[in-house]
Structure 1
Amino acid sequence: MKLLFLGTSAGRPTLVRNVTSIALQLPDPHHRFWLFDVGEGTQHQLLRTKLKLNRLERIFITHMHGDHTYGLPGLLGSRTYYDGAGRLQIFGPPGIRSFIDHAMAASQLHLNYDLEITEVEEGRLPLEDDLFTVETAELHHRIRCFGYRISERPRPGRLDLAKLAQLGVPPGPLYGKLKLGEDIVLPSGETIRSVDVVGAPVPGRILTILGDTAPCEAAVRLAEDADLLVHEATFNAGLEEKAVAYGHSTIAQAAETAAQAKAKRLAVTHFSARYSEEDVERFAAENQSIFPNIVAARDYLELPF
């Protein structure tokens, strides 16, 4: 899996940063992706990538501020021009359904695919998926805002190939059955138990993407033991009062949240337009003493994990 940052600016775009959107590219062979927030211009950002809207499966909106939502009506409309665009699920805070319904009605937008909208509250989302579970919690912002924790389900353990050869199990479909937990019977009549030739399940990866937020307990809880945490970092140190007044965080506060949560990696994003590219890189480096594995996101940055 990997993340692709499509917009990393706070509030308004700059010449080098668009407003917020992040794509999660799912493992092969699915070739699907999810979007987290759809700021204005997101569909234009997508045109410069290999991602196609007919492979977009789900959208998660953190909150209703325009720099996270104004690209949504245009993207939904453009998706109708892509062959094979199937059902699209949207999850977001209360108000997301009204926003989409009014935009579609006022512009007479008609979609040629099924659109499902779910307004979220805290807890586990109603996702029908064999690969992932998604949890959400409300953060501390000026309006209702949610963070998302995406947990990959445990994967089957490794096959003991040496033992399978010793037992006389021929490579092929029987290997697949054993890996999926099924016992098999050889032509000789001997039963081979999956538990005897498959290792322990491999823990799934955890990704946490937070919306706009001041430091809060919910952010730490969602990010606990995450392989990758994406945290807003609108301001640098020295602007803590301004950050809390607007429901935002400094880069140092994002690093502190990652450290408290024992996350493995931190990507900071959503930077104030007052900062240059060089400023942001320097700020991230200065906060490695709080959390060493920190990276400052930029538009089109890809982070495999």
Structure 2
Amino acid sequence: MDLHFLGTGAGMPSKTRNTSALIVNLTAEGRGYWLFDCGEATQHQILHTSLKPRKIEKIFITHLHGDHLFGLPGLISSRSFLGGNEPLDIYGPAGLSTWLWSTLQLTNTHLNYELCIHEIAEEGIVIEDEDFLVRVKKLEHVIPCFGYRIEQKPLAGKLLIEKALAAGVPKGPLLKNLKEGQDVTLADGQVVLSEDVTGEPQQGFTIAILGDTKYCDASVELAEEADIVVHEATFDNETGNLAKDYGHSTIGDAAKVAKNANASALIANHISARFLPSDIAKLKKQGQETFENIYIAEDFACFEWRDGKLNEVKNTE
């Protein structure tokens, strides 16, 4: 799983940060891309990467402020031109459907795929299938805003191939079946149980992606024991009063959420344009006074999750 930050600014674009957009790349898990928020010019940001808009299969909008969704009509329109024919699911607060459909109809935008808009009516589970579970909770912003918790369900244990071969299983599709948790019957009638030739199930990852919010209990609950928490840090600790006035968080608030949730890593984003690149080290240091394992995301930053570890691996620009 990879995280690609396409926009990490707050309120409006700046020379160094675009408005909010984050892609969770699940192709290694047999899925496509899940996009969280879609600020203005998100599709322009994608042009500077190797990411393919047609692979976006789900979009999650945290709230209806423009810096989190003004890029949506253009992106979903371009997806048609770029070979995206598979259905697209969009999740978000009440009012999203009216705004988006009105925009598409008034501009006579034609889509080559099925667009399914799911307005979230209450907290709880919005997606559950055999591999993933997505929960939402209401955060504390100046308009209704959601945070999302993405849980990958436990993975099948590794196939102990030498043990399987010793049990008489021939090389080929039966090994694949055993790896996927299915018992198999050999040509001589012997049944080989998957649990006998596979290791213990492996824990999946958990990510909390939080929209704009003040420090609140809901953020901590969504982030509980998470491997990765993506949290806004619009202000530094010296401008905490402004954060409260505008329904936002300081870097200290974000760090407090990660600490109180016993999370493993924090990636701070939604950084105010008042902070120049030269200020980022100070911002990070303020957060580390509360929670050590902090990253400050920049536009086009990419983070890789492999074998239970998070690494900032490259710039996707």
- Of stretches 49-58 and 226-235 in structure 1, the one that deviates more from structure 2 is 49-58
Which residue of 1 is the match for residue 154 of structure 2?
Answer: 154
Please give the per-residue CA displacement for 1:7-55, whole angstroms capped at 9, x wherever unaligned.
0000011111101000111133746211100100101001111112211
1:38 paired with 2:42, answer: no
Q: Which amino acid aligns with 1:122?
A: E
RMSD between aligned alpha carbons? Answer: 1.4
- Paired position in structure 1 for 2:308: none
**What one-letter code is carried by the residue in structure 1 that aligns with 2:258?**
A
1:244-275 superposed Cα distances (whole Å, 9 cap, x missing partner):
11110000110010011111110000011100
Match of 2:125 in 1: 124
Q: Decide whether the 8 Å contact of 1:159 with 1:199 is kept in 2.
A: yes
Q: Does 1:76 align with 2:79?
A: no
Could you say which residue in structure 1 is the equivalent of 2:139? 139
What corresponds to 1:58 in structure 2? 58
Residue type of the alignment partner of 2:212: D
Paired with 2:131 and 2:29, the residues of 1 have a C-alpha distance of: 13
| Partner Cα separation in structure 2 for residue 125 and residue 84 of structure 1 | 24
CA distance in 1, matches of 2:224, 2:81: 40
1:152-196 deviation line (CA, Å, top 9, x unaligned) = 121100122332233232222111111222222223333211111
Task: Tell me what 1:174 maps to.
Answer: 174
SS in 2 for 1:181: coil
Higher strand share: 2
Q: Which amino acid is the alignment partner of residue 282 of structure 1?
A: K
Deviations 1:43-88 (A, max 9, x none): 1001111112211101000000010011111112211212243111
For residues 103-151 of structure 1, what are the alpha-carbon distances to aligned partners after superposition, in whole Å with 9 as ceiling and x for unaligned? 1122122212110000012110045x43211110000000000000111
Cα pair distance change 1:85/1:154, threshold 3 Å: same
The one-letter code of the counterpart of 2:134 is V
Q: What is the CA deviation profile of residues 196-225 of structure 1, one whole-angstrom value per residue up to 9, with x for unaligned ones?
A: 111221111111100000000110010111
Q: Distance in 2 between matches of 1:54 and 1:113?
A: 11
**SS of the residue 1:144 aligns to:** coil
- In structure 2, C-alpha distance between the alignment counterparts of 1:278 and 1:130, rounded to whole Å: 45
1:101-120 matches, within 5 Å, as 101-120=101-120
Alignment-derived partner of residue 99 in structure 2: 99
* Counterpart amino acid of residue 254 in structure 1: A
Cα separation, 2, equivalents of 1:172 and 1:289: 54
**Residues in 2 aligned to 1:189 and 1:101: alpha-carbon distance in whole angstroms:** 58
1:218 corresponds to which residue? 218
Aligned to 1:37, what secondary structure does the other structure show?
strand
The 10-residue stretch of structure 1 (39-48 or 277-286) with the greater mean CA deviation from structure 2: 277-286
- Determine whether 1:258 maps to 2:258: yes
Instruction: Give the aligned length.
Output: 304
Aligned to 1:163: 163
| 2:35 aligned partner, one-letter code | L
Native 8 Å contact 1:53 1:85 kept in 2: no
Secondary structure in 2 aligned to 1:238?
A: helix
2:17 paired residue number? 17
* Alignment of structure 1 residues 227-238 onto 2, 5 Å: 227-238=227-238
Contact between 2:237 and 2:286, CA under 8 Å: does it hold in 1?
Answer: no
The structure-2 alpha-carbon separation of the partners of 1:109 and 1:27, relative to structure 1 and needing over 3 Å to count, comes to closer
What TM-score do you get using the length of structure 2 for normalisation? 0.92
Is 2:302 the partner of 1:302?
A: yes
**Contact 2:155–2:204 at 8 Å: present in 1 too?**
yes
2:254·2:287 contact (CA, 8 Å) conserved in 1?
no
Which ranges of structure 1 fall in alignment gaps of 5 or more residues? none
> 1: distance between equivalents of 2:181 and 2:143?
46
Stretches (4+) displaced over 4 A: none
Unaligned runs of 5+ in 2: 306-317
Amino acid at match of 1:144: P
Q: 1:30 to 1:286 in 2, by over 3 A?
A: same
| The 10-residue stretch of structure 1 (149-158 or 29-38) with the greater mean CA deviation from structure 2 | 29-38
The answer to whether the Cα contact below 8 Å between 2:127 and 2:135 also exists between their aligned partners in 1 is: no
